[in-house]
Structure 1
Amino acid sequence: MEWGTVPAWAAVGASALALVISCLALLQSKRSADASTRSAQTAADALEFHRRAAQPRVALAISRLGSGTYRLTNGGTAPALAPALAADDVALVRWREPVGDVLHPGDSRVFTLNGSRPSRLRFSWEGHEEVVHVPVPPPG
């Protein structure tokens, strides 16, 4: 081996080392970009969750008052507009007072059950036509 080729071999070695370092840096930057994308998606999901949680909601609940007497309460933060029982449940309930056109947050209506004791009553209201199953507490 001649001394003139030593610098050339050193240059080849240095180039190979530079190539390895570049490849490692590329892999690390890809990992960092992937982590950044996951972090951004997590932040977007959290923002959507908080946005939905902050929206006013109707939350109907039934509590037992006494022998066959129950109370329907809107425990949510939004009014239930034109609340209605599902057609099959209408005959099961006798309201002590009319439900009316709006059941405001915190408002309640007292009712009795006619004969049978269902495990739940089904309600819908304007703006939420999907039926909501509200559990009826058992007697006793």
Structure 2
Amino acid sequence: MDWGDAPAWAAFVLSGAALIVAIKARGDGRRSADAAEISAGAAVDAVAEARRSSDASERSATVAEATLELQRQEVAARQAAEAEAARPAPRLNVEHVDRDLYRLKNDGTGAAMNIVFEEEDLPRIFRLKNTGEVSLQGGEAIDFLMAGAMGAPIPPQLFARWDGQDDFVPLRVPPVQRQPRRR
């Protein structure tokens, strides 16, 4: 061997070492590229999962808002019903007093103003105006006469309405309690 070939051999050894380093670097690069590709895939999956989670959160928030609105409506309806129940309201009743004498009585806590009877009941009712002038406060009563005839007996109910009550309300007329005649 010639000493002149020593630099060539050194270059050959160095190139072999460089080849080994390049092969190793190539393997590391490939692993790094594979890891980057896996990481990119995981990032895409994470973005898709984040979208699904965001959509689910929006749906959940929408449902929560709807539920809250429904609860608010229920509370408002309950409060309105409680206020209506607490509001003074009239409750009219008809009582039989004696023979043809009856009593229209307001057993409620509120006033029944301008009481009007249905037109077909009027021929049987006496001493009780139908001009809207009859008004009863809570606990008040007014006596009136009501008589039946062969063709038109005393009805089982009268129909009345008053201020705040748009429809006619049936008022049950109690049957006449006939007392035995004294001899």
TM-score bin (small chain): 0.7 to 0.9
Identity of aligned residues (%): 25
Partner of 1:109: 142
Q: Which has more radius of gyration?
A: 2
- TM-score by length of structure 2 reads 0.61
In structure 1, C-alpha distance between the alignment counterparts of 2:51 and 2:98, rounded to whole Å? 81
SS in 2 for 1:4: helix
TM-score (norm 1): 0.77
Count of residues in correspondence between the two structures: 139
Structure 1 residue 131 displacement after superposition: 3.0
Q: Which residue of 2 aligns with 1:49?
A: 81
Question: Higher relative contact order by CA 8 Å / sep ≥ 6: 1 or 2?
Answer: 1
Q: Which amino acid aligns with 1:135?
A: R
RMSD: 2.9
**3-state SS, counterpart of residue 168 of structure 2:** strand
Report deviation, 1:11.
Answer: 0.9
Q: 1:2 aligns with which of 20, 34, 38?
A: 34
Q: Distance in 1 between matches of 2:116 and 2:59?
A: 60
Which 5+ residue runs of structure 1 have no aligned equivalent? none
1:116-127 correspondence runs (5 A): 116-126=153-163
Q: Hey, which bits of structure 1, 4+ residues long, moved more than 4 A?
A: 65-69, 97-101, 126-130
More helix by share: 2
| Structure richer in strand, relative to its length | 1
Which position in structure 2 is the counterpart of 1:13?
45
Instruction: Give the AA of the match of 2:170.
Output: H
Letter paired with 1:105: G
34-43 vs 12-21, which deviates more? 12-21
Q: Secondary structure at the match of 1:2?
A: helix
Secondary structure of the residue that 1:105 maps to in structure 2? Answer: coil
Distance 1:103 1:75 in 2: 10
